[in-house]
Amino acid sequence: MEKNQIKIISENRKARHNYFIEDEYEAGMSLVGTEVKSLRLGRANLKDSYARIENGEVFIYQMHISAYPFAYYGNHDPLRPRKLLLHRHEIKKLYAKVNVKGFSLIPLRIYFKNGKVKVSLALVRGKRKYDKREAIKRRDEQRDLEREKKQYG
């Protein structure tokens, strides 16, 4: 079996459009059984999700993990806050940076790594409208350049 085998479950594509990503952390997640089974079916949504530090612990909010369809009882609440598992020194570093104006914690992707559920958590700063326009303009110019290369090269 391959070491560090990664299977992406869900990705927050809008995050790269809406934020400048300063730093990325990998965190484990505290889950119940039906959540893991639902994640194995690929039923997760990171849209509008965010993380917050409370009492020295990191929690992720608004992350939707659909109810497991084959569970008769004991199913989980799809939007419940979930605890993220990080080292204490990482939490302290994040806490110091999040208290600086303009920084937030946003999950970028959720994936399986060696059978364990992991979250890629990013320390981000919000983009202004003109920043987004500039990024779109740059991407369009790059696409046109590639098209020209393909056509004449």
33-75: pLDDT as tens digits: 888 888 888 888 888 888 888 888 889 998 888 887 777 777 7
Residue 146 within a domain? no
Residue 85 within a domain? yes
Give the residue, 35 or 129, on which the prediction is more confident.
35
Domain coverage including residue 50? 7-127
Distances (CA, A) of 102 to 19, 34, 76, 124, 127: 10, 36, 33, 8, 10
Single pTM value for the model: 0.75
Tokens of 87: 């080292």
Residue 80 within a domain? yes
Q: Which residue has the tokens 């560090």?
A: 4
Residue 152 within a domain? no
- Classify the phi-psi angles of 144: left when phi > 0, otherwise alpha if psi is within -120 to 50, otherwise beta: alpha
Tokens of 73: 């009882």
Residue 153 within a domain? no
Q: Give the closest residue to 30 by CA, choosing from 67, 77, 103, 85.
A: 85
